[in-house]
Amino acid sequence: MFYALLYQQLRRGHNFLGGALLGLATLKFQLVLGFVPIFLLKRKWRELAGFSISTAILVAISLGMTGLQALHSYPNFALHAELPVNELPHKANWQGLLSLIGQDGSVWVALLSVATIVWAARAWANLDRGFCAATLAVMLISYHITPQDISLAIVPFFVAVSAGILPRDRVPIVAAIGMGILLIFMMVQIPMALFAIVLAAALLRVGIRARNAKASDRSNPLRTTV
């Protein structure tokens, strides 16, 4: 809901309010914080200001509920909490995908995450392409993502259709393939981490289309884009 509202407000030019709505979504911070470095790289200061204020309000509420000691110990708890060994393959992100080949160490995850953020920032040629790329990137670099969190991909899917990134005549086949893949994963118990490949392919496509659009605009200055 917050992602949909964020896109709506950015579309209307209410950048500060959009950032504030994203800040409220830090209740599930692992699916939000990836937006911050992308905003920084794109110098989205109003969005960052709104995000900072609403996040500060949530932190203040947390302090009032739990006290400073509990809030101070939470980052250490989140970083060092023991996870079931069989949980990583069910994460549709870089960490889960790398765990399938025994390379889920922090160095590889960090390198892929940085590359993903930079690619998403470069794909921000306009709001539609940038929002699609950033949302997909956030999912891939998330520290923790459950199978049901993949529903977040619905937002960039519809944005991609409305922006022409995904042609409307291909929507039925793409939707069928996407839902079919998820159904097969659940029925055959294929590791959900492999779905990160689908997300990465979508992010790659958005980035390539953005670069092609920039090249086309440079070659034809009279062309206008949404």
Tell me the domain boundaries of the chain.
1-81, 84-226
What's the average model confidence in pLDDT over 124-134? 91
Instruction: State the pLDDT confidence band at 66, using cuts at 50, 70 and 90.
Output: confident
Q: Which of 218, 98, 212, 220 is nearest to 164 (CA)?
A: 212
Which region among 55-59, 96-100, 194-198, 212-216 has the lowest average model confidence (pLDDT)?
Answer: 212-216
How is residue 67 written in tokens?
């006290």
pLDDT tens-digit map of 153-178? 888 888 888 877 788 888 888 888 88
Given this model, what pLDDT does residue 216 score?
Answer: 64
Given this model, what pLDDT does residue 12 score?
Answer: 94
| Long-range CB contacts (within 8 A, 24+) of 108-116 | 112/140, 112/141, 113/34, 113/140, 113/141, 116/140, 116/141, 116/203
Given this model, what pLDDT does residue 84 score?
Answer: 54
Q: Which of 149, 196, 201, 194 is nearest to 174 (CA)?
A: 201
Given this model, what pLDDT does residue 140 score?
Answer: 94
What's the average model confidence in pLDDT over 41-55? 95
Q: How far apart are CA 118 and CA 75, in angstroms?
A: 25
Given this model, what pLDDT does residue 219 score?
Answer: 61
Given this model, what pLDDT does residue 226 score?
Answer: 45
Selected residue with higher pLDDT from 12 and 178: 12
Selected residue with higher pLDDT from 47 and 163: 47
Instruction: State the pLDDT confidence band at 220, using cuts at 50, 70 and 90.
Output: low
Given this model, what pLDDT does residue 54 score?
Answer: 95
> Which residues, at least 6 apart from 30, have a Cβ–Cβ distance to it below 8 Å?
142, 143, 144, 145
